[in-house]
Amino acid sequence: MTRPTVLFVCVHNAGRSQMAAGYLSALAGDRVDVRSAGSMPGDQLNPVAVAAMAEEGIDIAGAQPRLLDDASVQEADVVITMGCGDACPYYPGKRYEDWELDDPAGQPIETVRGVRDDIRRRVEALIAEIAPA
């Protein structure tokens, strides 16, 4: 069986999608190919999102926001959007999910922890479906 590729997409690729990618990489290991991108990527990751993930022992500080392109979507088996709306190209045969998550940008760490924990629950459910241990 080939490894599924999961693409997480949000607007800035600086918070939610990076936290989700960090969790999926940490929890699924090499069973899943993990990517993330943004429709309008920021200059850097949200430092509060980085700190919230560090509390979980997951280092996302080295990640860089990436621009979403058609090739990324075409290569993915599962595309998970987080508030990027219509900016995400649609290809038949892909599995699309939209995760309604609060935007952690500009929020205090207490709020970002809630978003982080919601993302973890969703990532764990995704792994159970597409790449069980």
- Active-site option among 37, 88, 126, 131: 88
Q: Is 84 a catalytic residue?
A: yes
- Active-site option among 84, 101, 112, 127: 84
Q: Is 116 a catalytic residue?
A: no
Q: Is 11 a catalytic residue?
A: no
Output the six-digit token pair for 40: 């309008």
- Active-site option among 6, 7, 9, 10: 10
List residues with catalytic annotation.
10, 84, 88
